[in-house]
């Protein structure tokens, strides 16, 4: 059923928008499978999500592609014969599934006032009244609500809360905001038109619930009426709720279980009860099933309101599209027609402006042409006078020309002389440049020779430094060897002393002969070289 998917497109877009990750406008098939499976389960269709694997050869889908898949694989199971109540229950269930997917984005607010259930109700109202339009920035779609629809919802909420509605203030706010997406719509209602948190939250919740009943549940009117019984002709108070196609009554406004339902169709009609020409509160509702039902309103004005509401309910009893959605479509069509009319008016004004500008340009051109003709006549007279003057000047010019030719010949001769002088100077300058070039080449060769000598000296210095370091290392090794030899000699003498007792005086002399004195001179470079050779 095409109209059911059309009604659900806005809520499915919110779920699709919540599932997209990095790249806007596309969602992975693995995420869409879960959403598709839940929608299919609600419609008693199973394994419909498996078809996504073979649908197109990509791992992601755009919103258009996903809606096309739902239309052909899921919603095609519904026909025009599907009952209206079934379609409405499916619409409610799918809206709830989409809300479960995207609610985390919208419930996470810095200073919440509305309850979570109230936010869900406003979400369904937004999806019902919003329009889908292409987003020029990233080639995707946006679900936005027109400022007129926002004003209507906000004014009803403000009126229900007992506050004052300021249309001029809302117009300024709407002009500043521009586009109302659902977070913006929720923030405006919550921060500006809910009393700022000063009102009782239960009252705010009840006001939002009234909005939900009006827009989503299609409640045309509700209130207390007295109804005459069928068996006992007594009047009893009931709470009546009127929707297109049915009039339900309860024992009071808090009851959830109805006391009865009166079906309404095109064969029903209502009529007021006359009381000798005096205003009366009674009216009769005639139905094929219950014949005539007598109802009594609280006052004459209430009776007129109920009669008008019942006529609306009877007129829209057989429609598959809900009453509020049809009203929203009418308002949308009116806005589009008004917009188109304004555009046509603008085009007509623009064409008239262009025609007026063209006429003014043509008039200015004609005026300019007349002025040009007058100017040309005057110009011809001026030209005639100038020609006469020029004729006299030409004769004088011929005489002057002969004088100038003589002067030119003399200047030409002087110019040739100066040219020859310049050529000689240029030749001398060329010779000086060649000489300077030779000197520069000699200087560069000399500089390269000096650089090579400097490089050889540096290399020799580095070689000497490396030899010095090598000799220092060998000297240190020789000292270590001498030290180890002295230590070995001392150990050997100590062993000899332990085997034979020395004579007095002999031990002291031998010990002194092997212990190096501290006053020995330090080794110099020559000693290091000789020591190296000995080693």
Q: What is the mean pLDDT of residues 265-286?
A: 81
| Residues 424, 426, 428: CA angle, nearest 5 degrees | 70
CA distance 224 to 191: 33
Within 10 Å of residue 388's Cβ, how many Cβ atoms? 10
The two structure tokens encoding residue 403? 């004088």
Please spell the DSSP secondary structure of 268-322, one letter per residue: -EEEEPPBTTB--SEEEEEETTTEEEEEE-SSHHHHHHHHHHHHHHHHTTT-SS-
CA distance 178 to 176: 6
- Percentage of residues in the chain having pLDDT higher than 90: 56
| Closest to 89 (Cα-Cα) out of 148, 42, 122 | 42
pLDDT band at 79 (very low <50, low <70, confident <90, very high): confident
| Closest to 62 (Cα-Cα) out of 115, 108, 107, 23 | 23
CA distance 298 to 311: 19
CB–CB of 89/44 below 8 Å?
A: no
Helix (DSSP H) and strand (DSSP E) numbers for the chain = 14, 11
> Over the stretch 396-454, which tens digit does the pLDDT of each residue have?
988 888 898 889 989 999 999 999 999 999 999 999 999 999 999 999 999 999 899 99
pLDDT band at 276 (very low <50, low <70, confident <90, very high): low
CA dihedral 405, 406, 408, 411 (to 10 degrees): 180
CB-count burial class (<10 Å; 0-12, 13-18, 19+) for 428: exposed
Give the β-pairing of 235-243 and 221-228: antiparallel
pLDDT band at 535 (very low <50, low <70, confident <90, very high): very low
Evaluate if residue 355 carries a pLDDT over 90.
yes
CB–CB of 59/28 below 8 Å?
A: yes
Q: What is the mean pLDDT of residues 47-61?
A: 89
CB–CB of 102/15 below 8 Å?
A: yes
CA distance 79 to 90: 13
Q: What is the mean pLDDT of residues 1-8?
A: 82
Q: How far is CA 271 from the centre of its chain?
A: 57
- What are the residues facing 237 on neighbouring strands? 226
Q: What is the pLDDT of residue 137?
A: 66
CB-count burial class (<10 Å; 0-12, 13-18, 19+) for 306: buried
Distances (CA, A) of 315 to 230, 243, 264, 266, 400: 26, 11, 9, 7, 109
The sign of the torsion formed by the CA atoms of 17, 20, 25, 30 equals: negative
Q: What is the pLDDT of residue 185?
A: 94
Q: Which domains are assigned to the chain?
A: 1-108 (1.10.238), 221-321 (2.30.29.30)
Within 10 Å of residue 152's Cβ, how many Cβ atoms? 16
The chain-wide mean pLDDT, for the chain, equals 86
| Closest to 186 (Cα-Cα) out of 153, 210, 161 | 153
pLDDT band at 278 (very low <50, low <70, confident <90, very high): low
Q: What is the pLDDT of residue 507?
A: 46
Evaluate if residue 64 carries a pLDDT over 60.
yes
This prediction has a pTM of 0.66
CA distance 64 to 25: 10
The two structure tokens encoding residue 423? 């050529």
> Over the stretch 222-246, which tens digit does the pLDDT of each residue have?
999 999 887 777 889 999 999 998 9
- What are the residues facing 144 on neighbouring strands? 131
């Amino acid at each position: 059923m095409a109209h059911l998917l059309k009604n659900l497109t806005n809520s499915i877009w919110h779920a699709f928008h919540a599932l997209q990750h990095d790249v806007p406008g596309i969602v992975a098939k693995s995420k869409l499978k879960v959403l598709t499976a839940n929608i299919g389960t609600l419609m008693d269709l199973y394994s419909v999500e498996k078809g996504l694997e073979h649908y197109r050869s990509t791992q992601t889908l755009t919103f258009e592609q996903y809606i096309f898949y739902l239309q052909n694989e899921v919603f095609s199971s519904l026909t025009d014969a599907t009952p209206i109540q079934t379609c409405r229950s499916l619409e409610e269930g799918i809206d709830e599934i989409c809300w479960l997917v995207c609610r985390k984005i919208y419930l996470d607010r810095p200073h919440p006032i509305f309850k979570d259930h109230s936010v869900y109700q406003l979400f369904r109202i937004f999806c019902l009244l919003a329009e889908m339009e292409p987003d020029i920035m990233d080639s995707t779609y946006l679900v936005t609500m027109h400022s007129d629809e926002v004003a209507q919802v906000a004014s009803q909420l403000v009126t229900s809360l007992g506050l004052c509605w300021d249309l001029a203030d809302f117009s300024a706010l709407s002009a500043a905001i521009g586009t109302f997406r659902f977070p913006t719509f929720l923030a405006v209602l919550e921060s500006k038109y809910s009393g700022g948190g000063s009102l009782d939250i239960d009252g705010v919740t009840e006001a939002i619930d009234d909005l939900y009943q009006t827009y989503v549940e299609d409640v045309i009117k509700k209130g207390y009426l007295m109804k005459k019984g069928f068996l006992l002709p007594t009047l009893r108070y009931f709470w009546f709720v009127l929707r297109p196609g049915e009039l339900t009554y309860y024992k009071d406004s808090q009851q959830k279980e109805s006391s009865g339902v009166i079906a309404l169709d095109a064969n029903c009609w209502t009529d007021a009860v006359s009381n000798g020409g005096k205003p009366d509160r009674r009216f009769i509702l005639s139905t094929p099933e219950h014949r005539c039902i007598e109802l009594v309103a609280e006052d004459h004005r209430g009776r007129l309101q109920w009669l008008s509401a019942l006529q609306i309910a009877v007129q829209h009893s057989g429609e598959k599209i809900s009453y509020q959605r049809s009203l929203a479509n009418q308002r949308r069509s009116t806005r589009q027609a008004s917009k188109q009319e304004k555009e046509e008016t603008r085009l007509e004004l623009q064409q008239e402006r262009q025609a007026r500008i063209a006429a003014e340009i043509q008039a200015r051109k004609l005026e300019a042409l007349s002025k040009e003709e007058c100017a040309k006549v005057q110009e011809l007279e001026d030209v005639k006078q100038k020609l006469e003057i020029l004729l006299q000047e030409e004769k004088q010019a011929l005489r002057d020309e002969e004088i100038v030719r003589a002067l030119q010949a003399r200047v030409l001769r002087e110019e040739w002389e100066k040219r020859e002088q310049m050529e000689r100077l240029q030749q001398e300058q060329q010779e000086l440049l060649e000489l300077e070039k030779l000197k520069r080449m000699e200087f560069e060769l000399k500089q390269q020779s000096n650089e090579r000598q400097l490089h050889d000296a540096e290399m020799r210095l580095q070689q000497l430094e490396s030899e010095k370091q090598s000799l220092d290392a060998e000297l240190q090794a020789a000292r270590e060897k001498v030290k180890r030899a002295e230590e070995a000699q001392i150990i050997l003498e100590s062993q000899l002393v332990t085997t034979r007792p020395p004579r007095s005086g002999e031990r002291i002399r031998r010990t002194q002969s092997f212990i190096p004195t501290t006053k020995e001179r330090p080794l110099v470079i020559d000693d290091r070289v000789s020591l190296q050779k000995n080693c």
